[in-house]
Each structure stands twice: as C-alpha cells, then as structure tokens.
Structure 1
Amino acid sequence: MQTIVKKLRQYKPIAEIMECFREEEQVVFLDSSLQNDLGRFSIVGRKPYLTLKQDGVLSINGKPSEETFEDYMERYLYEHREENPTDLPMISGAVGYFTYDYGRRRGGTASRFDGQEDLLPEAMWSFFDHYLIEDHETKELYLAAGGHTCPAEEGIREMESLIAEPVKAVSSGTEKKAYITADCEKAEYLCAVEQMKRYIVEGDIYIANLTRQLTIWSEKEPYEVFQKLREINPSPFGGYCRFQDFQIVSASPERFLRMKHGQVETRPIKGTRKRGETKQEDDRLREELKNSGKDKSELLMIVDLERNDLSRVCENYTVKVPELFSIEEYATVFHLVSTVTGRLQKDKGVMDLICAAFPGGSITGAPKIRAMEIIDELEKGKRGLYTGSMGYITLDGCCDLNIVIRTLVYRDGRYHLGAGGGITCESEPEFEYEETCQKAKALVKALEL
C-alpha cells in the first residue's frame, strides 16, 4: 500500500488547521512553535489504524499479545517498510511516547513504586493513516494518506475539504486560577538534594537528576492550555496528544534522538538560567551560564554518557561531539546544550537505537543504572511520562524523539507536571529548588492566563 503525498496550492499554518481536528477521538500534533533549525517542521496525525499499548503487557488494537513491544515494533517496521521519496521528515509511521518508567523497567531497575497505579500506559504508539506536514521554512503544507481507513485519494480530498472551511479558534480569553499541590515540598527537596550530594561524595554517582511532581487543578481545557503555552513559551519539540483517557501538552526544548538514513543525533541539555527582566540582566545571566564551571562539568559528564550509549549501536569511530557548550534562548530560560552524533551500524534498527539510549542520560545521571536506583530512593513516586520521550518513528526506519520536559499530562480533571534538575557535589540546595520553580513557571502561567 503506497502513501499518497500532495502539496496544497494554498498555504495555511498547521496550527490553524488543527482547530478542525482538535475534538477528534485520537489526534496528535508534533508542534515546532519555535521555528529555528531544530523546529522546521510540524506534523498532525489523525485516523489511527494500528495502536500499540504497553500496560503490563502489549496490546495491539486492544487485543493482548505475547510479543514484547520492541519485538513487535521491530517486526512491523521491517514487514511494512515504506521508503520516503520526499524531503519531508515523515509521510507514514507512528507517533507516540515512552514513559520514564518504561525505560527503567526495561533496563532492569526495580522500583519501590512498582505496585503504584500508573497515570497512563508505559508506552502508546499509533500508526496514523493521515498526516499533515508543515514546512515552516518554505511556508508549504503537505497532506499524506496511506489508504488504511479509506482509499488514499478519498482521504486527501476529505482533508482538503476540511482545511478549506473557515475555522474560528475557540478560546476563553479569561484568566483562570490554578491550584497547585506538590509531592515534595521545599524542605523535603532541600533534604533530598543533600542526600544525593552524599551519594556523589561517597562515589556512587557523579551526577543525577532529582525531580518533584506537581498536581494542578485548573478550569482550562488541555487544548486551550496548549494554545496559550505555544504562544508564551514556543519550543522546537512541543506537542499536543489527545487520547481517549488523557491528553498531553508539551513545550519541550530538548531533542532526545533523531535518526535519518542511519545518521544519529542526540542533544542533551544541562544548565539553566532564568531570563532577565531587563536586557542588562538578561545578558548577565546568559554570560553567567556560559562561564559556569559547574554547569559545564554537568553537561560534560552527560555528553560522555551519551557517547557511550551511542557507541553501543553506532559504527566504530563515528561518534563525535560537533557542539559542546552552546547557549539556547527560550521564553523563560537559557539552556546549555551539546550535540552528539554517530552513524548507526548497518545491522541495527531504530528500536536498537532507542533501547540503547533510553532513558536519556540528561534526565537520569551517571552512571545511569546507579543514578536511577538513587532517583527511585529519593523521589516520592513514579515519574510517568515526565523525562520519558515523545515523537515519531517512520516506516522507513527513521525517528525524531524529544525528552519529555516542560510537559503537562491531563487526566481525570487534574494536570500533572514534573520539574527537576541535575545535582552534583557543587549543587546549592536553595538554587536547585528555585530552578525547579523556574522550569515549571511557563506551564503554570499557561494554566492561569
């Protein structure tokens, strides 16, 4: 079955078009609202024909399977491989997520929270029949239909018809109050930082990420929050996913893995400063991060970990660090970022790459396994989707996945938000706590405006 791709004659931003589909039962929007070299494309997927859910066991379109998620996905991608003859990032494949706990469990790290009920399945990936892809650079919009839920030509015509209709955005335009509770209050977090520093001094680990979870009640609907968040805090790896029982609203700035035609890239973030109130303060904070020995040493340790992870599945001598300490600007923060690249071994596939590197080192620590054990000891509950990964896997074996940070999960009338940071022996507990507040700031603001 061959996917049909058509470029629309008349351009319309995909964020406007999404209004047509926002109420569909299952729809996803991988949104590059910050349009830079990282965020050139945005993608909407609709009308799933195959859904894989890992929730204790694998289910395929709701039916239990004895296969593992990894084996089934690898086999399906092989048996249904479809080349992408275009310059678009994807025209067919799956969009979905892995939770942090999926990676922890798969890596063999036990948890004292394993009996705790999960907020959402450990993994959910849907192969969508229809995709809309926007190229922000060329201002072009493409439609792709695979013919799984209806003939491909019919699917293209249906999307064209829906897009042609004028759409009025729905927004309340009124401020709402958000009520916040945390699983770890300030005094507890400060104590946990000190405990983690003791593990570092004793030689167990070099660095680890310490997270606290917020539960937020707000009257705002998830898509309304998403619209506001992309306005006040644009990001290259954001998105909105509407599933039957829950919604995901993300403004992630961090790429976990991209693989295209065998070329692999990961971009760990370590080091954060808030944006200043004035240009002078902004410049000072930027320079402070740029020259911070602590933040550079944090990032260097994670770069080394990521190099090791990629070396497990990449060809010898191809793993490089073309970019070590770069400063990236976002609406509320500066980040210190590195880039690690490699070339995948010819006998390896996208699932081999994901399994070798997940969870990402920037949100676990080094050494990874021991860091995850200490994280489990010091944090108050399961991380769930936070610090997991969301993105796409294509039928030609490519992928682009984020690290799930700056992200809300909505379920049963509540929003759930994680915020954390890297802890080293030089960490000051008060500063680390304030950094978690700063990282949650834009999301809380989106719930209130």
Structure 2
Amino acid sequence: MVVEEIDSIACSKLLEAIAHFSYGFFLDSGSGIYKNDLGRYSLAGWNPFLILKSRGSSVQLIQKNRVINKRGNPFLVLRDILDKYRLASTCQDLPPFLGGGVGYLSYDLCHFWENLPCKAKDDLCLPELYIAFYDRVLIMDHLEKRTFVSLIVPSPNKSNLIIKERIEEVKRLGQKNVVAKKDKRRVLRPGGVLLESNLTKQQYLQAVGKAKNYIREGDIFQVNLSQRFHAKLLVSPHRLYQSLREINPAPFAAYLNFNGIKILSSSPERFLRVRDKEIETRPIKGTRPRGRNKQEDEKLGKGLLASQKDRAELVMIVDLERNDLGRVCQHGSIKVEELVKLEIFPTVFHTVSSIRGILASGKDRIDLLRATFPGGSITGAPKIRAMEIIDELEPSKRSVYTGSLGYFGFNESMDLNIVIRTFLVKNDDLYFQVGGGIVADSDPEEEFQETLDKAKALISSLYNHRKV
C-alpha cells in the first residue's frame, strides 16, 4: 500500500475525465461545502481490476476479460472478495478508503433475506448488485485541502515501477483535456423535456389512501410511497451531473459510469458508515422547501422542527434502526447521538438523526447489511410489512432507487448512501424517483406535494441554462 500526495485536480476536470472511462466513479462530498465529517473526502477511480454483478442468484465476475458465471448469494461472493483482498490495519491519519469496491446495491436485493412478494414489474432490468474493485484511488481531502493517490501494489519487486507509472497517469488526468467525441446534446431550456410519471396524481393519492387504511387496520405505523419519472435523455450525462451538483451539492453525491448504466446522485442521506468497527446511520425524515426570502426560509425551518408529525416519523425510524443495529452491535454500545437535528440543503430542509454503535465480535459488514438493508427511512415500520405494501402499491420495482451506493474498503471500512435525489441513465432514457413517508394523519395532497418538493433540484438541473 502506497499513499502519495499530488497536486490538486479541479473537480470539473476530474469529472470530465471520469465520464469517459467505462467504469469510472466519483464519490462527491460537495467539494467541501459541508464543513464537517460528512463532507471531508471526495474519491475517484477508474480501470477496476475486478467487477462483480448479479441479478437474482445469477452472479458474474469479470477480471482481465475473463468472465466467470456462477449461481448463489451475491452478498456471500462480495464477502469472499473483501476477505481475499483484505489489507492490514492502516494508520488512523489516513483517509478511510484506500482501495476496494465501489458500486450500488439495489433496493430489490431485500428479496435475498426476506420472503417478499414480487408483484411489481421489473421494467428496468438492471443488475441488482453492481460493484467494481479498484487498486488505485484518487482522494481529495477538502478539510486539509490536499489530494492523494493510493495504490495497492501486487509485488514488492515490481512496486517502484508500478507506483511511478500509476502516479504519472493520475497526474496526467489533471493536466490535459480529455479527447472525447463531440457531444451535440445540450443543456435544456424550460419546456424542452417531457416528464412522465408511472403514477398519475390521482393514482398516487389513491395509494396514499390505501396506505392510511393499512395504518388504521394496524398493519403498519408508517410506509414510504414513491413515484418514478421518465424522460428521454437530451443532455450529456456528465454535464447534467455538473448542473445537479451546482444546484444541489450534497454530502453523499456520486457519479457512476458503469458500462452503459450511469447514476447521477445528489443524496443527502448516509445509510451506513463503518470505520474501526464503529457504525453510524443517519436517517432523514421530515422535509420542507426552502423559502423565497430570509423570513420565509426561517419560518419554514422552524415549522419543520416544531412539527409533531415529522418528529414522530423520525423517532419511529430511529427506533427501527436501533433495533436493526442491535442484531449485530455490542450490547450497550448503541447510542442516539442526535435525535432531531435540522439540516439545511440548497433546496430543502430536513430533520435528521444520528445513531451509532460498535460492531460485535464475529460480525462483519455483510452481517450488518443483512440486519439493516434496505434503510428504514425509505421503507417504513414495521419494515417487512411496509415492504410488502410498497410492492403492492408501487407499479414498478424500485431497482437502484432507495438502495445504497458507496464503497467497501479493503481495510474493512464502508460508507453507503441512500439512493435518493438521483438520476438513473440507461441508454437514452432518464429516470428519477421521489417519495415520502405516509403516517396516520398524512394529508394525501401534502404528501404528493412533498414528492414534488424533493424533485425540485433534479428538475431544475434539467432546465439549468448555464453552460457547465
């Protein structure tokens, strides 16, 4: 393992380069605008040495153009890979990710651990687990304003030559413009794109009504319902992401370019972080739009904090997450660090909690995922019954939406977001999905409007007329 400091690289130039690698990634913490642990590091990589993807129990491994197909649980294959390439303990002062797997876990992987119905249509037909493994990573430390490249080298005898070659390759990335095919697609003006939902407004309101019936009957306390929008892609994906990150910088944003599938995320929500056996989850519940002026902005923020409905939703999910973590954490280690905290984002306010625990002896990250995935903030409570109702009321499988995206370090670290506020690009089709938590006193019209509030940054980025 080698970590070497290099000259800084502009995020715009880095993204331009990453966009033209078939397995390039950029885990983007908002270029350091979040002056805390949430936004300290941004990570980038390309040219993975191994790729893992799965649909159902069909698992595929790709390494050096060799393809291995097998059947089984993809989480167990992931565990085997992480064990095989495990690094020795690293210095506390080093960044948390120095090499490992980067990719996504789709929401629909929940079927591996729970006996759930499959009524919703799988119309996107994407891999359910898609992770690429990297032995070279570019790390931007926004707090210290330093940039590093980390390298995992296979042999001490060859390491000096490999280190020199790979560091020079990273330096070249920041020194010259990428030669790319001319992209005639443009940034859109208002009215230039037709958005279609998989639910009409009336259908969404009816789904909220059915969810409230289940709540009255005692099946659930809360359920998250969403609608998915579709449009034809008329914008270069990486330019669309640049527009999105300008309008809505987020601490758990990401750009993935995985062989024809592109994910452009501006997620504000951390699902799970693991470092040195310490776990953190940060569920979000409660949303208000930002105000048009300072007075309205202050009123909306205070109104969210004072809302008993939103507080009850969040506390309910905190209890669910504590229970999930209790399956794999040391007894007595689970603490609620922040119960209801107002967090301010460019287009919305959110209320957020922070729950921490210590991973128990004999448990690993896969055990943690089995206990907690998918996140309770985007399912409801009780979780399993809520997921059954989601499958009944939503017409399409969620796929990447409300799954998780992030990294699995070879040093036993992990940091995953909840995939919300996210564009999915497949070929020339663009999708995004937005939802909200339904409780006993939910107003269907207000719940529908909340989904539109959450979509505001995504829609605005489509119509952003600035040259990016």
Residue 96 of structure 2 corresponds to which residue in structure 1? 89
**Mapped pair 1:261 → 2:288:** no
Shift of 1:89: 1.7
Residue 48 of structure 1 corresponds to which residue in structure 2? 48
Residue 74 of structure 1 corresponds to which residue in structure 2? 79
Alpha-carbon distance between aligned partners in 1 of 2:47 and 2:170, rounded to the nearest angstrom? 11
- State the Cα deviation string for residues 398-426 of structure 1 (Å, max 9, x = none): 10000000001001211111100000001
Alpha-carbon distance between aligned partners in 2 of 1:175 and 1:82, rounded to the nearest angstrom? 49
**Mapped pair 1:237 → 2:277:** no
Shift of 1:117: 4.1
Counterpart contact for 2:186–2:234, Cα < 8 Å = no
Counterpart contact for 1:111–1:376, Cα < 8 Å = yes
Match of 2:170 among 153, 159, 181: 159
Alpha-carbon distance between aligned partners in 1 of 2:40 and 2:406, rounded to the nearest angstrom? 15
For 2:59, the aligned partner's letter is L
For 1:58, the aligned partner's letter is V
Once the two structures are overlaid, the 10-residue window that deviates more, 357-366 or 407-416, is: 407-416
- State the Cα deviation string for residues 313-337 of structure 1 (Å, max 9, x = none): 0000111101000000111100010
Shift of 1:174: 5.9
Q: Match of 2:292, SS?
A: coil
Counterpart contact for 2:120–2:394, Cα < 8 Å = no
For 1:96, the aligned partner's letter is G
Residue 105 of structure 2 corresponds to which residue in structure 1? 98
Alpha-carbon distance between aligned partners in 1 of 2:174 and 2:368, rounded to the nearest angstrom? 37
For residues 199-278 of structure 1, what are the structure 2 equivalents within 5 Å?
A: 199-278=214-293
For 2:4, the aligned partner's letter is K
Match of 1:175 among 178, 189, 204: 189
Shift of 1:217: 2.0
Residue 5 of structure 1 corresponds to which residue in structure 2? 3
Q: Which runs of 5+ in 1 are unaligned?
A: none
Counterpart contact for 1:145–1:153, Cα < 8 Å = no
For residues 14-413 of structure 1, what are the structure 2 equivalents within 5 Å?
A: 14-33=11-30, 34-37=33-36, 38-56=38-56, 57-61=58-62, 62-83=67-88, 84-85=90-91, 86-113=93-120, 116-147=122-153, 151-165=162-176, 172=186, 175=189, 177-413=192-428
Once the two structures are overlaid, the 10-residue window that deviates more, 439-448 or 316-325, is: 439-448
Counterpart contact for 2:75–2:366, Cα < 8 Å = yes
Alpha-carbon distance between aligned partners in 2 of 1:445 and 1:250, rounded to the nearest angstrom? 14
Alpha-carbon distance between aligned partners in 1 of 2:73 and 2:232, rounded to the nearest angstrom? 36
Q: Which runs of 5+ in 2 are unaligned?
A: none
- State the Cα deviation string for residues 81-110 of structure 1 (Å, max 9, x = none): 113335202111110100111124432212
Q: Match of 1:11, SS?
A: coil
Alpha-carbon distance between aligned partners in 2 of 1:36 and 1:67, rounded to the nearest angstrom? 43
Alpha-carbon distance between aligned partners in 2 of 1:365 and 1:87, rounded to the nearest angstrom? 37
For 1:35, the aligned partner's letter is Y
Aligned length: 445
Match of 2:439 among 424, 429, 433: 424
TM-score by length of 2: 0.91
Counterpart contact for 2:18–2:26, Cα < 8 Å = no
- RMSD of aligned Cα (Å): 1.9
